[in-house]
Structure 1
Amino acid sequence: MSAHGRTRGALDGMVVLDLTQMLAGPYCSMMLADQGARVIKIEPPGGDQTRRNGPHLDGALRMESGGFGGYFGSINRNKESLVLDLKQPAGRETLLRLVRGADVLVENYRAGVMERFGLGYERLAEENPKLVYAALRGFGDPRSGESAYAGWPAYDPVAQAMGGIMGITGPQRGGAPTKIGPGVGDIVPAMFLAYGIAAACWHAQRTGRGQFVDVAMVDAVLAVCERMVFQYSASAQAPGPEGNGHPLLCPFGLFPASDGYISLGVPNDRFWRLLVERMGHPPWADDPRFATNELRVRHRAEVEQAVADWTVRHTKRALAGMLGGEVPFGPVFDAADIFDDPHFRIRGMLVEAEQPGAARALTIAGSPVRMSATPGGVRHRAPMTGEHTDCTLADLGFDAGEIAVLRAQGVVQ
């Protein structure tokens, strides 16, 4: 049990050294922390630069005071902060000592950075053969296959573009590509890396041998676009933007309501008949061109127009009353709708976390993973810069004198 009497997560006891920054790497380590891992965020002197990213609540402590904004607070919850200067030899020696007591090290520098520090996987494995070393880079690590783009910097829109997801997303069929709103070019690779880390740790637990885990951002994005791969393989035609529909199902996508939009997913003829019934069986429902999904796909424009002409006459709430629970249906929510809808509170998806200095809490997205015996979730706010430096070092074998020397040398803060 935790100090607060709550059952710890399933990864309780796992020690993770987190050298990540920006979104992708911290999101990965956040997932491990949410499930109970002890994640030690190792920050450079002055702290992670994303601490300055807003929005900031009124009165919240800024980066200059060791605080953070909403961006940092959301994806660095449940972590400890240790400030360590890896540019100093003593800083690198300190990391080597920390590695001896760790299960995982995760970083998302460009390829070669850790090697230039003398801290590449092979060196760290000498200190701890059981270590799982996880790397997340735009185009992967050369150990797993050296990409021609290995030296390119990569952020979310680059991964979305080159991983294929942007090319099949857009408001109109055959139109211009569109970036997906959330940073899926970062978050999807983060999820795959957390999965890889968990798998590698299970192997290490059984064999005593760690390994190098490598995820390329563009590879992860392509993996979630699996449909475009087999479509091109089978047809030699490259899929393009599909608008708000589906290439193989109809009706399937967004439709207008009188006060916004709703989403319908009609994956088979049974749901089509049910939808038609809820619509009052209009005259066109008996059109032979609409009899099967294959025919509806062939006559997509007519089907979608007929359905839209009906949905646009009703509010989202009215449509929910007619279709909800019967036909795959959902109103399109914005953030205000999500905050107002009881589902997300009941499911623990809107979590209030302390924002140092602010008079009120910051609401962040909770963990969607529900586990009956080891629930995990958000246990405490993101750390102040270097908040846990002394206690973390002490826990991992440094005595008070050693910590004092490192602090006097500016190696730790």
Structure 2
Amino acid sequence: MTGPLAGVRVVDMTHALAGPYCTMLLADLGADVLKVEPAAGDTSRRAGPYPADDTTRSFGGYFQSVNRGKRSVVLDLKTPEGAADLRALVAEADVLVENFTPGVMERLGLSYESLAVDNPRLVYAALRGFGDPRSGESLYQSWPAFDVVIQAMAGIMGITGTEDGTPLKVGPGVADIFPGTLLALGVTSALFEARGSGRGQFVDVAMYDAVLSLCERIVYQHSYTGEVPKPQGNRHPLLSPFDILPATDGWVAIAAPNDNRWHRLCELIDRPDLAVNPEFATNDLRVSRRDEVYKTLEEWTRGQSKEEILARLGGHVPVGAVRDVAEIMADPHVAARNMAISLEHPGSAKAVTVAGQPLKFSRTPAIPSRRAPLLNEHGTQVRASLDHRGCALWTVPSTTAGLGL
């Protein structure tokens, strides 16, 4: 592995999406991520979709996308042997990540406190729906959580939807992916601190907290004005123009709230009169007249194709066509930025494509290249390397051993 986290050793006990997304980021960045699974495997292995010629169905696209680059071992943590094996792995690891409900690891005799006795420099990272009681005990502590539930509770659906107030879920699983991303930042921050202190710590991200921070606008709006923001369709409450507009063959997004951009937009759509109209001179005035602004732009876009609009406005004002995934995969930007990665898929003769890694490094490139693991694919290797006097599995050069940095 060549990424900036090469040498970092991660025990991954996560499942579903939020936790595996966090550890996928760490694996993409070069960490050695060992995924510990029960005998039945992570439930997302069975989620599909599968290639048409897949003869084994060992895992589908869901699992491949967020578990690429990892290794897999099956341990039964409810047995003394399985718990002892995990403890031996963690004793020589830099990071443990889990997303069980609170209390599960304690009942298994594998709490952070007990593992930190064996490994004081361990960074123990937990991702739960409503957080861990170590950081503040939530009323909802024991409630299970899914993306749609957190989107509803923490603010996204309160401001996402049609103008009549009908709420809509955001398409991607942002209430899983954003918390997972923040936890990866928390892990790397704790590793950085441990370089000097020699001590690890407990890192806790609640899905609820992460999504509330993502919805930061509603918090300050409510504090500053007393307003309770509501869904406004595709419009923005504070910016204009900031709209999705119809074209002859689809839709385009146009955002030009800056006064200079607004003037340039007016010129490009052959309406220089609007640029000098005092009723539209500032963003605040345009917000107060957003219906008129929208109507003016719509009159122009309705007579143009998406490509014609992009040809006229592109590079001058912020504009983009609303695209489906087929159009995105054909976009030369995606190829230029290596944002579509081909991986092998066991049981299929064809390579599959997953989303690339947006973090780019000039000296230690993070380029995912290894597929997701089969269930227990590395179990023989792990068991051959493990003994309870220590762990020889992590064959990291001594210069990077310890904190992995």
| Other structure's SS at 2:93 match | coil
Distance in 2 of aligned mates of 1:263 and 1:194: 31
Q: 2:100 aligns with which of 90, 98, 109?
A: 109
State the match for 2:244 in structure 1: 254
Shift of 1:284: 5.1
Distance in 2 of aligned mates of 1:58 and 1:374: 36
Contact 1:61 1:68 in 2 (8 A): no
For 1:47-62, what aligned pairs fall within 5 Å after superposition? 47-62=41-56
1:235-271 deviations in Å (ceiling 9; x for gaps): 1111111211111110112111111111111131100
More deviation, 134-143/243-252:
243-252
For structure 2, the residue ranges without an aligned partner over 5 or more in a row are 394-405
2:237 pairs with 1:243: no
Give the letter aligned to residue 87 of structure 1: K
1:360-388 deviations in Å (ceiling 9; x for gaps): 11110010111001111212000111111
2:109 pairs with 1:118: yes
Distance in 2 of aligned mates of 1:226 and 1:123: 36
Contact 1:29 1:39 in 2 (8 A): yes
TM-score (norm 2): 0.93
Q: 1:313 aligns with which of 298, 303, 321?
A: 303
State the match for 1:74 in structure 2: 65
Give the letter aligned to residue 139 of structure 2: A
State the match for 2:12 in structure 1: 18
Distance in 2 of aligned mates of 1:289 and 1:92: 70
Cα 1:268/1:284, change in 2 over 3 Å: closer
| Other structure's SS at 1:277 match | helix
Cα 1:192/1:61, change in 2 over 3 Å: farther
Distance in 1 of aligned mates of 2:55 and 2:202: 38
Distance in 2 of aligned mates of 1:398 and 1:142: 31
State the match for 1:37 in structure 2: 31
1:123-174 deviations in Å (ceiling 9; x for gaps): 11111010000000000000000000001100001111111111011132x5
Give the letter aligned to residue 205 of structure 2: V
| Other structure's SS at 1:240 match | coil
State the match for 1:361 in structure 2: 351
For 1:11-410, what aligned pairs fall within 5 Å after superposition? 11-63=5-57, 67-172=58-163, 175-281=165-271, 286-395=276-385
Contact 1:58 1:359 in 2 (8 A): no
Distance in 1 of aligned mates of 2:249 and 2:387: 61
Shift of 1:48: 1.4
State the match for 2:400 in structure 1: none
For structure 1, the residue ranges without an aligned partner over 5 or more in a row are 3-7, 404-413
Aligned length: 391
Distance in 2 of aligned mates of 1:230 and 1:309: 35
Contact 1:132 1:212 in 2 (8 A): yes
Shift of 1:285: 5.1
State the match for 2:402 in structure 1: none
RMSD of Structure 2 on Structure 1 (CA):
1.7
Cα 1:62/1:171, change in 2 over 3 Å: farther
Distance in 2 of aligned mates of 1:251 and 1:359: 49
Distance in 1 of aligned mates of 2:231 and 2:25: 31
Shift of 1:397: 5.2
Give the letter aligned to residue 275 of structure 1: L
Contact 2:342 2:353 in 1 (8 A): yes
Contact 1:99 1:124 in 2 (8 A): yes
Contact 1:78 1:378 in 2 (8 A): yes
